[in-house]
Structure 1
Amino acid sequence: MAKAIKGKIFVVDHNIDTDQIIPAEYLTLVPSKPDEYEKLGSYAMVGLPDRYGKFVAEGAMKTDYPIIVAGENFGCGSSREHAPIALGAAGVQAVIAESYARIFFRNCTATGELYPWEAVERLCDRFETGHEVTIDFDNNQLINHTLGETYELKSLGEVGPVIDAGGIFAYARQTGMIPTKAG
């Protein structure tokens, strides 16, 4: 069975930092508490400049955009795990960027919240928020249905199975690296 993510995209530029993804004032929310996890998602991307528009509609808990398309250095700034967790809580399944701050990429993998795809070419200047797309995992491609065009993505490589498992600890349990709790 082919794996894919379909939906509308939210487009941002370069150097979107963790303070824009989830401002420090919301870091008191504890993601392991279900109601606070959901609330964390409602604040995802509230630190962005107004020119981007609303990522999560006023009064909503989830975004209409399961995929973010970004420029270079997405997730720069602090090393907070709350950034990919907030995006995942908002309903984001993947980010496609030209490049990532390495700690953000690592936190996406460790938490298993979302897939950090890397674009082969600059897409943030070509795409617009609201375009309908499909990420084709089997072929490492992004299909922009609005433009009728297909773009290559770099392979997820070894991080794919870790994210599929739900993060580094779930993957370690699943593969026998660490024992599961006895019932």
Structure 2
Amino acid sequence: MKTLIEGRVWVLGRDVDTDQIISGKYLTIIDPEELKKHVFEIALPEFAREARRGDVVVADENFGSGSSREHAPQALRAIGVGAIVADSFARIFYRNSINLGIPTIEARGVRAMFEAGDPIRIDMTRGTVTNGRTGVNLSFPPLPPHLLSLLEAGGLVAKVRQELQA
């Protein structure tokens, strides 16, 4: 994991639940290449077509609420989301995302800072989010070392594999 993340912003509102990230009708799909074709199918129909590896999702409060299924963060990882930054997260979604190696950052007020397509810069060590268009910065509490370590390894399973091989 890079400690400096740069990408293009995709903006979502509040209470984006896991069904909006990936509909429950795709629960039988296990192939990541197929799964990523359906990310934000209703909320942002162009996302699956136009998203680029490293793009960042910025959202309002309660991102990832609803079902605890792991398909939602799996689909975001498959499409190459570089990070998710939101005012707040549903806790199970937050942990599922971190466990899959997706930088997941809670930063109060972040949604109001961005418009779709804005360039974003996230400094994981300093705990800052910067809008590249406006220059506006926002601080967030840096992730604790054990979570940074999970992200660095690529997620929980990758971290356990590393430790078992050491």
TM-score (normalizing by structure 2): 0.89
Higher helix share: 2
Query: Equivalences for 1:1-183 in 2 at 5 Å?
Result: 3-30=3-30, 36-48=31-43, 52=44, 54-57=46-49, 63-64=51-52, 66-112=55-101, 114-119=102-107, 121-157=108-144, 158-175=146-163, 179-180=164-165
Distance in 2, matches of 1:91 and 1:173, equals 22
Match of 1:11, as an amino acid?
A: V
CA contact (8 A) 2:4 2:121 kept: yes
CA contact (8 A) 1:19 1:47 kept: no
CA contact (8 A) 1:111 1:168 kept: yes
Q: CA deviation at 1:53?
A: 5.6
- State the secondary structure of the residue aligned to 2:48: coil
Which runs of 5 or more residues in structure 1 are unaligned?
A: 31-35
Q: CA deviation at 1:138?
A: 2.1
- Displaced runs of 4 or more, over 4 A: none
Match of 1:24, as an amino acid?
A: G
1:125-161 CA-partner distances (Å, limit 9, x unpaired): 3311100111112211111111111111221212121
Match of 1:110, as an amino acid?
A: N
CA contact (8 A) 1:11 1:127 kept: yes
- Bigger radius of gyration: 1
Identity %: 37
Which runs of 5 or more residues in structure 2 are unaligned?
A: none
Q: CA deviation at 1:18?
A: 0.2
Q: CA deviation at 1:111?
A: 1.9
Aligned residue-pair number: 162
Distance in 1, matches of 2:32 and 2:90, equals 23
Please give the root-mean-square deviation of Cα atoms over the aligned residues, in Å: 1.7
Match of 1:16, as an amino acid?
A: V
1:29-60 CA-partner distances (Å, limit 9, x unpaired): 11xxxxx2122112111131xxx562222xx6
